Amino acid sequence: MSTTKPMPSEAAATEIPAVPLTIEGYSVLHQMMRFRWTSWRALDDATRRNIVGEAVPVLKGMEQNAKGQSVFYSLIGHKGDLMFIHFRASFDELNHAELQLAQLRLSEYWEPTTSYLSIIELGLYESTTKVYKTLVDRGIEPHSDEWKREIEHTLERQKEAMRPRLFPSIPPSRYACFYPMDRRRGEEKNWYTLPIEERARQMNEHGLVGRRYAGEVRQIITGSIGFDDWEWGVDLFADEPLVFKKLIYEMRFDQVSAVYALFGQFYVGLRCPADQLGTLLSGELPEFTK
């Protein structure tokens, strides 16, 4: 009795792994703080100046660190007063940044409201399907040692090509918007049960919207699966905050957002350069120049 063997392309469609490849860059920590204004105002002017004078050079050094910056923002609304964003080469260095801030006398006047731990991530959906199918067509068994070597070489090449996006400076924009998000995993709609080709199609469509806003807003995506309560974090940076509303609203009409996206709390803040800390803590808006 004869049997019909599947064509290589058919085998690839059924055998390729479901998980897309990713490349990672800076480790990222967001810290949201509430400031104890009543206690701060109770201090005399000289004490406040001394505390600010101690904090400014430390914050400025973190802000100008060429191997991963820290910048902070004055938050708008009730969710907190300050937001620190730290980019570092490792989680160890993020922890060191936390400890640096904790040593400041100024830290006696703030208390954490929340935080978010993640790592800059670029998803390689289009490259993934091409690479997986090529390897399967060559007869390489998924997850074998040879498969892992080929994948590692692919990731190394992609990481080198994408280095500026994986290890960026924090954009010098006036406003920042941060929010966490998930992909839906419910009984009726589950992102993770879709074929990888369909997920790639939807993500490509989603990305086309963002590219239309190039020059107006800078977006940095971080992965947080296994690190925090949501699956991804999104940072948007712009000089005009209205663009956050327009971009996010337009993206929600994409299938990937309309059907599969869940969003956490949003945080919007104005950037405060380190040398403007005293101005901010005196109750005035800090001056901002790029």
The answer to whether 116 is a known catalytic residue is: no
Q: Is 162 exposed, middle or buried (0-12, 13-18, 19+ CB in 10 A)?
A: middle
CB 280 within 8 A of CB 286: yes
Which of the following is catalytic: 179, 213, 260, 267? Answer: 179
213 C-beta neighbours (distance < 10 Å), count: 18
What is residue 112's three-state secondary structure?
Answer: strand
Q: Where are the beta strands (DSSP E) in the chain?
A: 22-35, 70-75, 82-88, 110-123, 175-183, 218-223, 232-238, 261-263, 267-272
- The Cα–Cα gap between 113 and 188 comes to 34
Q: Which residues contact 102 (CB under 8 A, 6 or more apart)?
A: none
Q: Just list the catalytic residues.
A: 179
